[in-house]
Amino acid sequence: MSLFEKAAITGIGETAHGRGLQQGSALSLQMQASLAAIADAGLSPRDIDGVIPVATGVAVAEDFITNFGIPDLRFSATTPMGGASCVAAIQAAAAAVATGICRHVLLPIGRTGYSGTRIGARVHEMPQFRTIGEFELPLGNVAPAQIYAPMARRHMELYGTTSRQLAEIAVTTRRHAILNGNAGMTKPLTIEDHQNSRMIADPFRLFDCSLESDGGAAVVVSSAEAARDLRQPRVLVMGAAEGHPDSPSVITQRPDILRIGLAKAAPRAFAMAGVTPSDIQVAEIYDCFTYVVLRQLEEIGFCKPGEGGAFVEGGALGIGGRLPVNTHGGLLSQAHLAGMNHIVELVRQLRGQGGAAQVEGATLGLVTGYGDMGDGSIAIMRRG
Amino acid sequence: MSDSFTKPIPHPTPDTQPFWDGLARGEYLIQRCKECGKLRHYPRPVCDGCWSMAHEWVAASGSGTVHSWTVCHHPFHMGFKAQSPYTLLTVDLAEGVRAQGQLRGLPAEALRLGLPVALGYEREGEGPVLPIFRPAEET
């Protein structure tokens, strides 16, 4: 059996984004976003019978039973893949509702990455970073910017990809954040601003790197049947997949350090969905770093390996461009909510609720996740 | 001062202790499967080729070529602040596995893919012996 159109995203919710706007703990931000998503779907919190808390260590399934008074939670799981977790959870939730285990699965996240412990500084506390922690952290390979930079450097050396091409991604994403109206970064950014920003881990400059944010976001995944009776237009999950790179825990030992988990996941998701990359009208691409967007565009098949730099030039990723990407401002300029905000935005776009950032006529799009040194996840959706 | 070493230190397990013991005496050790001969790195319990747990350790020759690199400007850990910026190399060792280490004796601007480098060893204060790389001498 296939998960094709067995599940739908029925509710979306998020907190205000922007430094100093949020009040409360990571747990309360998560609850606030979850209640918003459940209300958006037209459900009661007691209707939630499945939950996949993103494995940030903030909330467990029990917290939702306790806070919402859920009488009979039938399904709980985690998909601990860092930034690939949220989109990977769509596949897990779709499997649960498709098989009748439950009907409405909540996918919540909340974090205080700005005011609390910085994410970039504590990755080595996670078990999936154990190998790097022992063998590379003592050498100075401390944070994700440093861990990923050699992939970007090799791409540049092999294919001639430039820092100005990476800047195109940051600049376009910032423009979208400003259109969004609910974003952490609100000042226009130019390619020159990017080129003048301080070097973090060569080739990554400050504006190649994503934000550290306080906030929350959540979505509800329901069975496609149950979704018919709910408040919002249905957004059906046509295809979903996760993929893990070879040598998943350490990039240094990966046979091809450019190859990421999405290379395995994307063909599966497209086959399930019965569409091709040329059918995609809007794409929310996980953007912890600009280069990671560029490389995922290649792995999905929007262009050939090595051609990502040319593909993103000339505002191609802008609204009205060849492939509108990260129409909400992404992790680079809206907020770092591990990509849950990417799912929220894709659903908003496909419902036609994108506001000033709406891609005209968009009814079919995709969202990706990327994390833990290259795990990948993807979901292809359509309004229907 | 023995308490002045502020960088992160490794926490070896019984599976990985021989690697660190090797570095301490100036050898970069790679695991080799005793059943099928496949090399594996970093150290781990099982051969992914034949699933044998029997292994031995072989010392790397020390020659390699540059696979990629990054120049670390922002110190994400205070222990590295004094030496920033520093360059981290990813190196293809001649044996066929990769190693990481800081670059010595060459400006980062001179790096290119495939540049021959030689493995060395360095110890700072009371810290562990760590691998470093220098440009290979002309032969």
Chain A partners within 8 Å of B10 (Cβ): 134-135, 137-138
Of A203, A181, A213, A197, residue with least CA distance to A289:
A203
Nearest to B74 among A139, A157, A200 (CB): A200
**Residue B78: strand, helix, or coil:** helix
What residue segments make up the domains of chain A, in order of their start?
7-116+210-383
Task: Give the chain A residue whose CA is nearest to the CA of B41.
Answer: A253
**Residue B7: strand, helix, or coil:** coil
Same domain, B129 and B80: yes
Q: Is the pLDDT of residue B1 over 50?
A: no
Interface test with A, best of B11, B39, B76, B77 (most A CBs within 10 A): B76
CA distances from A320 to A18, A172, A176, A357 (A): 26, 12, 12, 10
Residue B2 within a domain: no
B41-68, pLDDT tens digit by residue? 999 999 999 999 999 999 999 999 999 9
> What residues form DSSP beta bridges with A108?
A218
Same domain, B121 and B135: yes
Same domain, B16 and B79: no
Q: Nearest C-alpha of chain A: how many angstroms from B138? A: 24
Alpha helices in B3-137 (DSSP H): 17-24
Query: What's the N-to-C CA distance of chain B in angstroms?
Result: 40
Nearest to A253 among B75, B98, B113 (CB): B98
Q: Nearest C-alpha of chain A: how many angstroms from B16? A: 9
Of A184, A176, A189, residue with least CA distance to A334:
A184
Q: Is the pLDDT of residue B139 over 60?
A: no
Give the C-alpha separation, A302 to A152, whole Å.
18
A236 touches chain B (CB under 8 A): no
Chain A partners within 8 Å of B16 (Cβ): 134
- Token pair in block for residue A1: 């059996």
Q: Nearest C-alpha of chain B: how many angstroms from A137? A: 7
Residue B106 within a domain: yes
Nearest to A252 among B76, B90, B127 (CB): B90
Residue B87 within a domain: yes
Give the C-alpha separation, B56 to B44, whole Å.
12
| Cβ atoms A183, A217 nearer than 8 A | no
| Cβ atoms A222, A8 nearer than 8 A | yes
Q: Nearest C-alpha of chain A: how many angstroms from B137? A: 23
Interface of A with B in 175-204 (CB under 8 A): 198-203
Chain B partners within 8 Å of A124 (Cβ): 8
Same domain, B73 and B115: yes
**CATH topology for A7-116+210-383?**
Peroxisomal Thiolase; Chain A, domain 1 (3.40.47)
pLDDT at residue B137 in the model: 83
- Give the CATH number of the domain where residue B139 resides: 2.40.50.840
* Per-residue pLDDT in tens (0 to 9) along chain A, 384 residues: 899 999 999 999 999 997 777 678 889 999 999 999 999 999 999 999 999 998 777 899 999 999 999 999 999 999 999 999 999 999 999 999 999 999 999 999 998 887 776 665 566 677 788 899 999 999 999 999 999 999 999 999 999 999 999 999 999 999 999 999 999 999 999 999 999 999 999 999 999 999 988 899 999 999 999 999 999 999 999 999 999 999 999 999 999 999 999 999 999 999 999 999 999 999 999 999 999 999 999 999 999 999 999 999 999 999 999 999 999 999 999 999 999 999 999 999 999 999 999 999 999 999 999 999 999 999 999 999
Predicted ipTM > 0.90: yes
Q: Count structural domains, chain B.
A: 2
Give the C-alpha separation, A307 to A65, whole Å.
48
* Backbone φ and ψ of A29, nearest 5°: -65, -40
Q: Nearest C-alpha of chain B: how many angstroms from A338? A: 20
User: Is the four-CA dihedral A211, A212, A216, A217 of positive or negative sign?
Assistant: positive
Same domain, B17 and B76: no
B133 touches chain A (CB under 8 A): no
Same domain, B29 and B75: no
Same domain, B48 and B82: no
Same domain, B99 and B51: no
Residue B6 within a domain: no
**Position B16 confidence tier, pLDDT thresholds 50, 70, 90:** very high
pLDDT at residue A123 in the model: 67
Same domain, B35 and B65: no
Same domain, B85 and B48: no
C-beta contacts of B12-21 below 8 A and 24+ residues apart: B12/A134, B15/B43, B15/B44, B15/B45, B16/A134, B16/B42, B16/B43, B18/B43, B18/B57, B19/B43, B19/B57, B20/B128
CA distances from A346 to A221, A342, B92 (A): 14, 6, 41
Give the C-alpha separation, A154 to A36, whole Å.
43
Of B120, B88, B111, B39, residue with least CA distance to A138:
B88
What percent of chain B clears pLDDT 90, i.e. is strictly above it?
95
User: Kindly report the CA angle at A115 between A114 and A119, in degrees rounded to 5?
Assistant: 45
What domain range is B42 assigned to?
12-59
Chain A partners within 8 Å of B130 (Cβ): 138-139
Same domain, B100 and B126: yes
Same domain, B23 and B67: no
